[in-house]
Amino acid sequence: MLIPVLLVVASLVVLYFGADFLVKGSSSLAVRFGISPLVVGLTVVAFGTSAPELLVSVQSALEGNPGIAVGNVMGSNIFNVCAILGISAMIYPLRVNPRLIRLDAPVMLAATLLFVGIFHNGSFGRWAGILFFAGICAYMIYCVYKAKRGEVVEGDEEIKPTKSWMLDVVLVIAGLALLVWGSGLLVDNAVIIAKALEWSEAVIGLTIVAAGTSMPELATSVVAALKKRTDIAIGNVIGSNIFNLLAVLGLTATIAPVETNQINWTDMLVMLGTSLLLLPFMRTGFKIGRGEGGVLLVIYIAYTLYLIV
C-alpha cells in the first residue's frame, strides 16, 4: 500500500513539472513566432495547465476506468472553485473584473448545467463530447477575436522567450513525455489504492486525482494572489473550469464515450452549487473577500470528508 501511495505522490510531481515545461516551451515558441502574449495565454497556456486533467481522463476512459475519467473533471472543478479560490482569497482578497461576470462565469455555469443535464443518467457519449469540444473552440475563437479588437482579457501578462528555440523544443517534448508518463503512473496507482481502501474509482477521481491534476492551477493562482495579481488568480480558475468541462471532457468522450454509475447526484449538485455560489460572491463589491474564501474552503473540506466517510 505504501508503494502505490508514494508513486501517486511522485506522479503528481511529474505532472506538475510536465505541465510547467510544456507551458514554458510552447509559450516561448509562440511568442518567438510573433503570436501575442494575450492570444498565447488564451490558447497555449490554458491548454497546458489543463493537460494533466486531459491525459488522465483520456487514459482512464481508454483503460476502462470511467469513474476516474469523469470524477477527475468534476473534482478538479470543485477543487478549483472551493480550494484554490478559497486559499487565494484568504491570502489576498480577489478583485473581480466585470468581464468575468459578463462572459466567462456565465459560460462556466452554462457548461456545468449542460453537463449535469446530459450526464444525469451516468452516460456521456461521443456526440455529447463533440458538442462540448465544439463549444470550447467557439469560446476560444470569440476570446481571440475580442483580444485582437483590443479588449483586455484576464491572464494577460508579458511572456518572455527563452534563450533559444532549441530549448523551447526540448521543453515541449520533455513536458509532453512527463505528462504521458505521469498520467499513466497516477491512474494505475490510484486504481490500486481505490481497491485497497474499497473506495470507488469515482471517489479517488473526485479527491486525489482531481487535486493532483489541479496543481498547476493551484500554483498559478496562489503565486498570483501573493503578488496581488488577483485578476490572474480568479481568471485562471474560471478559465480552467471551462476547459475542463468543454475541452477535457469533450475530447475524452469523443475518443472514448464514458458510462458510469459511480457519480451520484450529490457530486453533480456540489459542482453545480459551488459554480452558482461563485456568482453572488463575485458580484458583492466585485471582489471575493477573505470571509467568502473561508466559506469556499470549508465547503471543500466538508465535501471531501463526506466522500471519504
**Domain extent listing, the chain:** 1-151+161-308
CATH superfamily for 1-151+161-308 is NCX, central ion-binding region (1.20.1420.30)
What are the CA-CA distances from residue 69 to residues 57, 59, 143 (Å)?
Answer: 4, 8, 28
Q: Tell me: the pLDDT tens digits for 215-270?
A: 777 877 787 788 777 666 787 788 889 999 999 999 999 999 999 888 889 999 99
Res 36: pLDDT:
60
Q: Amino acid letter at 62?
A: L
Cα separation, 101 vs 237, in Å, equals: 13
**Mean pLDDT for the chain?**
84
Query: Residue 124: enclosing H or E segment and its boundaries?
Result: strand 123-124
**Does 155 have pLDDT greater than 60?**
no
Nearest CA to 71 out of 212, 182, 197 is that of 212
- Residue 64 C-alpha cell reads as 476502462
List CB contacts of 218: < 8 A, sequence separation 6 or more. Answer: 83, 84, 87
Res 261: pLDDT:
87
**Does 154 have pLDDT greater than 60?**
no
- Residue 125 C-alpha cell reads as 457519449
Mean pLDDT of 146-155: 58
Res 151: pLDDT:
53
Query: Residue 288: enclosing H or E segment and its boundaries?
Result: strand 287-288
Cα separation, 135 vs 133, in Å, equals: 5
Cα separation, 179 vs 164, in Å, equals: 23
Q: Tell me: the pLDDT tens digits for 180-219?
A: 788 778 878 887 887 788 888 888 888 888 888 887 778 7
Rg, C-alpha atoms of the chain = 18
Cα separation, 25 vs 295, in Å, equals: 37
Cα separation, 34 vs 83, in Å, equals: 36
Query: Residue 77: enclosing H or E segment and its boundaries?
Result: helix 66-78
Mean pLDDT of 164-179: 84
Query: Residue 279: enclosing H or E segment and its boundaries?
Result: helix 265-283
Nearest CA to 52 out of 232, 218, 263, 215 is that of 215
**Does 141 have pLDDT greater than 50?**
yes
Global pTM value: 0.84
Nearest CA to 46 out of 133, 155, 181, 148 is that of 155
Res 164: pLDDT:
82
